[in-house]
Amino acid sequence: MTAREAARIRTASGCAASISAVDALVVAVAETRPDPIVLTSDPGDMAWLIAQSPRVIVVVAT
């Protein structure tokens, strides 16, 4: 189920060709956690993906 959610998020972002499938998987897994926080060196791509999520996910740039 998580892989399908990652694919949905990545496709819905409109940037599937340039956004990593791994980044989408990180967001999909974060959706399943209480109070999700994602640490990333690429907050731009994460922002596109998280915008497709029904949950509030905190992004912290490292």
Task: Write the pLDDT tens digit of every residue in 24-53.
Answer: 999 999 999 999 999 999 999 899 999 999
According to the model, what pLDDT value does residue 1 have? 77
Q: Please provide the average confidence, as pLDDT, over all residues in the chain.
A: 94
According to the model, what pLDDT value does residue 23 have? 95
pLDDT category at 59 given cuts 50, 70, 90 is: very high
Q: What 3-state DSSP class applies to 20?
A: coil
Separation in Å, CA 26 to CA 11, 36:
15, 10
